[in-house]
């Protein structure tokens, strides 16, 4: 199991290579979320929902996966160097080019590993299905990866990857396989985004304009160029988050998309390690709700076939390793209808002007939908005490009630949402918008 300290170590390790991505907010979407979860405005004061989006689409290679790939590459590189130096039969200094990291992937992980290997000076050997989209093939090749193509089946991917590894080992290379999510080093790397999110959230209490970006790094001592006393434009008091006592959690809920579970495993471990009071929710489309059923049964379930969701980054099933982390640290998995995912994606594009991928929109979709689609289809949902079946409306209203009982007159419920990436096939998404009349 990955620990909180593993993630802290990973953050120190990868920070020189990764982008410290910003956290973005939007008042209009806050208002939509508040209305969806608490109803239309009334005369009496009511709770307010505040959303903060961790912008991993602005990460290197356009996706969060660069974090996990970088952590894995750096650890394997350090281990290979130590092994070389400890072996008296090895002559000369260790060269990073003697390490080959191998994976099979047609998505963001392939590009992430290729980029991470290039930055570290080692070799990336990537097995890709021959029918992978040309832009993804070109991107992986552009990072210098050595690509081997195979038939588009899991069996072909795995057998080809093994053959590639065997070939490099025969040539005297140190070879390591880097799984997209079923690896502790990758999970620890993905958890680093949650550490940053928790550190950035308090900055949103500073008054600002209608949209807000938390400063990616603490202020420096550099002199300003005449702007020191210039007030920010916009409705400051309305846009600022309420100041919280340091005894309160910086966020009430964190939502992360879930496919194979590497991100959710790392994020949930980091969040619970930092503050166990924060609720962690996994979000997935209802058309591929295998993570929800895996979480409920304690056994890895396979996604429906063929997949019909636009969220092509969330089609992979959990592994026993990621399910173990999720069952330990996640409070629930919520599914959203496909139409609601598309509506949320449209809001991200049009209101926030952020070209995120469909998989990134599932978090906001669960908020605006309110209920848990998969749970709503089960007869057992009549038991409202089973929190593992709750939707976001249940969670948010529960938190708001506790704050009201504690004496807060206008409680503020803060939700952090992870944007997984921004590698979008725009034409495909636009066609789906048209299919749903959006």
- Report the catalytic residues: 65, 106
Q: What is the DSSP string of 387-407?
A: GGG--HHHHHHHHHHHHHHTT
Q: How many CA atoms does the CB half-sphere of 59 hold within 13 Å?
A: 35
SS (H, E, C) 282-294: EEEEHHHCHHHHH
- Residue found by looking up tokens 């997209």 in the block: 180
C-beta of residue 259 within 8 angstroms of C-beta of residue 246: no
404: Cβ–Cβ under 8 A, 6 or more apart, which residues?
Answer: 47, 411
305: Cβ–Cβ under 8 A, 6 or more apart, which residues?
Answer: none
**Helix residue ranges per DSSP H, 311-361:** 320-329, 338-350
Retrieve residue 392's tokens: 């976001």
> What are the residues facing 55 on neighbouring strands?
419
Burial class (CB in 10 A: 0-12, 13-18, 19+), 266: buried
- Residue found by looking up tokens 């848990």 in the block: 372
d(CA 47, CA 16): 40
Q: Where are any strands of DSSP class E within 240-384? A: 253-257, 279-285, 332-336
282: Cβ–Cβ under 8 A, 6 or more apart, which residues?
Answer: 255, 256, 257, 258, 261, 264, 268, 291, 295, 326, 330, 332, 333, 334
In order of 193, 414, 437, the CA distances from 33 in angstroms are 23, 11, 22
C-beta of residue 191 within 8 angstroms of C-beta of residue 269: yes
14: Cβ–Cβ under 8 A, 6 or more apart, which residues?
Answer: 67, 70, 71, 74, 189, 192
d(CA 111, CA 136): 8
């Amino acid at each position: 199991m990955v620990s909180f300290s593993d993630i802290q170590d990973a953050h120190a390790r990868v920070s020189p290579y990764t982008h410290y991505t910003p956290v973005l907010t939007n008042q209009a979407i806050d208002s939509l979320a508040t209305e969806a979860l608490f109803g239309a405005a009334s005369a009496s004061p009511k709770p307010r929902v505040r959303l903060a989006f961790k912008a991993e689409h602005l990460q290197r290679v356009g996706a969060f996966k660069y974090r996990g790939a970088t952590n894995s590459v750096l650890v394997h590189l350090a281990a290979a160097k130590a092994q070389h130096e400890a072996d008296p039969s090895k002559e000369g200094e260790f060269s990073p080019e003697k390490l080959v990291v191998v994976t099979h992937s047609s998505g963001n992980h392939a590009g992430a590993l290729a980029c991470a290997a290039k930055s570290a000076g080692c070799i990336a050997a990537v097995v890709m299905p021959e029918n992978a989209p040309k832009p993804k093939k070109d991107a992986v090749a552009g990072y210098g990866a050595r690509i081997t193509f195979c038939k588009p089946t899991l069996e072909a991917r795995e057998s080809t990857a093994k053959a590639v590894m065997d070939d490099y080992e025969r040539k005297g290379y140190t070879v390591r396989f880097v799984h997209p999510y079923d690896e502790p080093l990758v999970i620890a790397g993905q958890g680093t985004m949650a550490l940053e999110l928790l550190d950035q959230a308090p900055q949103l209490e500073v008054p600002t304009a209608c949209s807000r970006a938390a400063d990616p790094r603490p202020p420096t001592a550099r002199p300003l160029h005449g702007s020191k006393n210039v007030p920010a434009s916009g409705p400051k008091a309305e846009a600022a988050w309420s100041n919280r006592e340091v005894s309160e959690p910086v966020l009430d809920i964190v939502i992360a998309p879930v496919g194979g579970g590497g991100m959710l495993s790392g994020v949930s471990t980091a969040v619970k390690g930092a503050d166990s009071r924060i609720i962690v929710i996994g979000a997935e489309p209802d058309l591929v709700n295998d993570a929800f059923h895996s979480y409920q049964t304690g056994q890895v379930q396979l996604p429906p076939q063929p997949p019909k969701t636009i969220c092509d980054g969330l089609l992979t099933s959990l592994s026993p390793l990621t399910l173990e982390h999720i069952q330990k640290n996640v409070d629930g998995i919520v599914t959203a209808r496909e139409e609601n995912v598309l509506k949320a994606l449209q809001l991200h594009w049009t209101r926030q002007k952020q070209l995120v991928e469909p998989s990134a929109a599932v978090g906001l979709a669960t908020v605006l939908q309110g209920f848990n689609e998969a749970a709503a289809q089960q007869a057992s949902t009549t038991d409202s005490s089973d929190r593992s079946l709750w939707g976001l409306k249940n969670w948010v209203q529960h938190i708001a009630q506790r704050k009201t009982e504690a004496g807060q007159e206008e409680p503020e419920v803060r939700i952090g949402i992870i944007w997984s990436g921004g590698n979008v096939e725009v034409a495909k998404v636009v066609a789906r918008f048209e299919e749903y009349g959006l």
